[in-house]
Amino acid sequence: MKAADAMTGLTQLHDAQKVVLDATPVLGLEKISILDALGRVLGEDIVAERDNPPWDNSAMDGFAVRWEDIKQEHAIQKPVTLSVIEDVPAGKMPSKAVGPGQAIRIMTGAPVPRGADTVLKVEDTEHTPDSVRVFKAEPRGANIRPQGEDVKKGDCIIAKGTRIRPGEAGMLAILAKSFVFVYQRPRVAILSTGDELADLDERFSEEKIINSNSYGIAAAVQEAGGIPLLLGIARDTPAALKEKISHGLNADILVLSGGVSMGDYDFTKAVFRDLGAEMNFWKLAIRPGQPLAFGKIQGKLAFGLPGNPVSSMVTFEQLVRPAMLKMSGHRSYGRPVVEAVFQEKFSKRTDRRHFLRGILTREEGVFKVRTTGDQGSGILTSMVKANCLIDVPVEVERLNPGDAVTVQLLSGDAWLAKSEHAHSGGHRLSCC
């Protein structure tokens, strides 16, 4: 890793991300029911043990025939009459073979009988229980779905490392895989620090600040597919911090929030040292989220996120979430990214990369983005309004309306839901 810049003492985010990902292990596998597999990452290649469909079958309700019998050029003037020798509904195997001058009535999905190589749609015929008149010529093989057209026995159908979506779940069922191996979900212990904090179950007091970070981080952990373990609040004493941290060391990741700014370093550092931790204390070249601690405590990944509520969420996004995704077997660790047209004026110093909370909309096919308003690191409503983070590179000094920017999409389809709010104008939240 490149060391922090000698002049500024700042560490670039991508350098910090590399350190984090290099230190992050991939978790082991567990076997689960496909009913629980949505969103999980496959830990095995899924190889087809049989063809799908398992036999040639009809794509239409109609009659299975021999193409030789119906190939005449003027079907309408000279319709062919065939005798119907059997009915084959879906779910039944035909017992007879189609011979010259014969047809078998067949339903969509039913196996094509031996001898037949073409299916005629029922609406292109005139029929009685015993016979069928054919008025339309069809090419050989029409309306037959051949064996193995979807899946060929022996092929790898879903590769290890694939995230299971509804399509994969259906395919696993087709392949009769009721249980599959997936990567384990990371367990993330969450600890908020600070005497100023009160938890939700404590008596409300005017002097205290409600611990919101634990709950925002817990939700972010769940959204990233992990299991949050709330350790509560560590009071500002070395003993309290040490004890709480030790409770979190059976998790895969420990996330602390607060206590990483200048004033708190000495105390936190001493506790880490006592626990045998190897920690980096970074000043990241980003805003929000400058002070950040990362390392390993007794082999477990440990993050010290800044206490300001937005800073903790943004640093979780940029550093903890990628580590969680790597742990749980994903092949890419970032959010979806799009280019959008910036709608405002913005300026900054050229020493930090900024993550502005943004509202992305799509108007006449063009992505447009504006900020949520005040970008202070204590303005948690900015995260409530935002559907994306606008990623403004370190070297950019100003943005004008019309400039192209890169945005990281937060939480899936949220940007669609937010469009209406953005259109209604203004930065204020409005309900009802």
Ligand X SMILES: Nc1nc2c(c(=O)[nH]1)N[C@H]1C(S)=C(S)[C@@H](COP(=O)(O)OP(=O)(O)OC[C@H]3O[C@@H](n4cnc5c(N)ncnc54)[C@H](O)[C@@H]3O)O[C@H]1N2
Contact residues for ligand X (CB under 6 A)? 192, 194, 196-197, 209, 211-214, 257-262, 264, 290-291, 306-309, 311, 377
377-396 positions binding ligand MOO, by CB under 6 A: 377
Cα distance between residue 335 and residue 249, in whole Å: 28
Smallest distance from ligand MOO to CB 308, Å? 4
Can you tell me which of 226, 228, 258, 288 binds ligand MOO, judged by CB under 6 A?
288
**Does the protein bind ligand MOO through residue 225 (CB under 6 A)?**
no
Find tokens 């096919």 and name the residue. Answer: 365
Quick note: the x/- pattern for ligand MOO over 307-326, rule CB under 6 A, is -x--x---------------
Phi-psi region of 141 (alpha: psi -120 to 50; beta: other; left: phi over 0): left
Q: Residue 353 CB: number of other CB atoms within 10 A?
A: 20
Q: Which of 58/375 has CB closer to ligand MOO?
A: 375
Cα distance between residue 262 and residue 293, in whole Å: 12
Of 301, 195, 321, the residue nearest 249 (C-alpha):
301
Helix axes 265-274, 238-247, angle to 10 degrees: 50
Judged by CB under 6 A, the number of residues near ligand MOO is 8
Which amino acid belongs to residue 365?
G
Q: Which residue is nearest to ligand MOO (CB)?
A: 311
Smallest distance from ligand X to CB 363, Å? 34
For the chain, first and last CA: distance in Å?
Answer: 50
Cα distance between residue 178 and residue 234, in whole Å: 44
Residue 357 binds which of ligand MOO, ligand X, none (CB < 5-8 A, kind-dependent): none
289-308 positions binding ligand MOO, by CB under 6 A: 289-290, 306, 308
Residue 258 binds which of ligand X, ligand MOO, none (CB < 5-8 A, kind-dependent): ligand X
Which amino acid belongs to residue 64?
A
Q: Which residue is nearest to ligand X (CB)?
A: 307
Residue 253: what are its φ and ψ, rounded to 5°? -135, 140
Q: Which residues of 404-422 are buried (b: 16+ CB within 10 A; e: fewer)?
A: ebebbbbeeeebeebbebb
Smallest distance from ligand X to CB 50, Å? 54
Smallest distance from ligand X to CB 233, Å? 7
Smallest distance from ligand X to CB 266, Å? 12
Binding site for ligand MOO (CB under 6 A): 287-290, 306, 308, 311, 377
